[in-house]
Amino acid sequence: MAIVGIGIDVVDIERFGVSLDRTAGLRARLFTPDESTRALASLAARFAAKEAIAKALGAPVGLAWHDAEIVSEETGRPRFELRGTVAARATELGVASVHVSLSHDAGIASAVVVLEA
C-alpha cells in the first residue's frame, strides 16, 4: 500500500485544559459526547489526533471536528471513525487505511496519523 498522508501534532495538556475551562462550549465543539467524558490527558491526545489527521489530509478548509472520532477497540487500541467531511476527503484521496497512535507523558500529549491508499 502507498502512503497518502502523514500527520503529527503535540499538545501541552495543562494549557489545553485552561482553554477548555476558559472557552464555553469548546469541549462540545471539539469532541463527540463519548469522547468528552475522558480525562484531560486523553482529551488532549484526541485533539492532537484530530489535528494530525487534518494535516495528513492536506488541511482542507471545512473539516468538522466531530467527523473524526477516536474510539477505543476492546484491546484499548485507538482508531478513528470517520464520517461526513473527513470521510469525504479521505475518499477523495483514496485512503483505504488510517493508522493512529496516541501518547501522553510529562505534560505533553501527542498523536501520529498515517493514511494508506
Q: What is the pLDDT of residues 36-74, one digit of tens each?
A: 999 999 999 999 999 999 999 999 899 999 999 999 999
Q: Is 112 exposed, middle or buried (0-12, 13-18, 19+ CB in 10 A)?
A: middle
The pTM for the full model equals 0.95
Domain housing 99: 3-116
Domain count, the chain: 1
Which CATH number belongs to the domain containing residue 93 in this structure?
3.90.470.20
**1: confidence class by pLDDT, cuts 50, 70, 90:** confident
